[in-house]
C-alpha cells in the first residue's frame, strides 16, 4: 500500500466522502450528482475530483466533454478506501 497516498486521503474529509459516494454507487456519477448528495459547492467538488483523478483514485469516463463529466472509482481507489 502507498502509505503517503493513504495519509493524504485520510487527511481530506471531502476527498474521502467523494470516494465513498463513488464506491457505493453502481453507476458513474456527475459532478452535479456528487454536489447534491454531499451538499457541497460545485467548486469544492471539482477541485477534489481533479485531485483524486491526478492520484489515479478515480477516472473520468468522458474527459473530452466540457460539461456532464462522469466519474467512477478505480480499483486502487477502492483498495485505499477499504484500508481507511
What does the block give as the cell for 41?
459547492
Model pLDDT for residues 23-81, shown as the tens digit of each residue = 998 899 999 999 999 999 999 999 999 999 999 999 999 999 989 999 999 999 999 98
Look up the CATH number of the domain holding residue 13. 1.10.10.10
Q: Grade residue 22 by pLDDT with cuts at 50, 70 and 90.
A: very high
The model carries a pTM of 0.90
Domain that holds residue 79: 3-83
> If you ran DSSP here, which 8-state letter would residue 67 be given?
S
Q: Grade residue 82 by pLDDT with cuts at 50, 70 and 90.
A: confident
Model pLDDT for residues 53-64, shown as the tens digit of each residue = 999 999 999 999
What does the block give as the cell for 30?
456527475
Total domain count for the chain?
1
Q: How far is CA 43 from CA 4, 6, 31, 39, 62, in A?
A: 25, 24, 10, 12, 19
Q: What is the Cα 65 distance to its own chain's centre? A: 18
Amino acid at each position: 500500500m502507498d502509505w503517503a497516498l493513504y495519509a493524504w486521503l485520510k487527511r481530506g474529509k471531502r476527498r474521502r466522502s467523494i470516494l465513498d459516494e463513488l464506491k457505493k454507487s453502481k453507476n458513474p456519477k456527475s459532478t452535479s450528482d456528487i454536489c447534491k448528495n454531499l451538499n457541497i459547492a460545485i467548486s469544492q467538488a471539482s477541485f477534489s475530483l481533479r485531485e483524486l483523478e491526478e492520484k489515479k483514485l478515480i477516472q473520468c469516463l468522458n474527459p473530452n466533454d466540457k460539461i456532464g463529466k462522469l466519474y467512477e472509482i478505480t480499483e486502487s481507489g477502492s483498495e485505499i478506501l477499504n484500508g481507511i
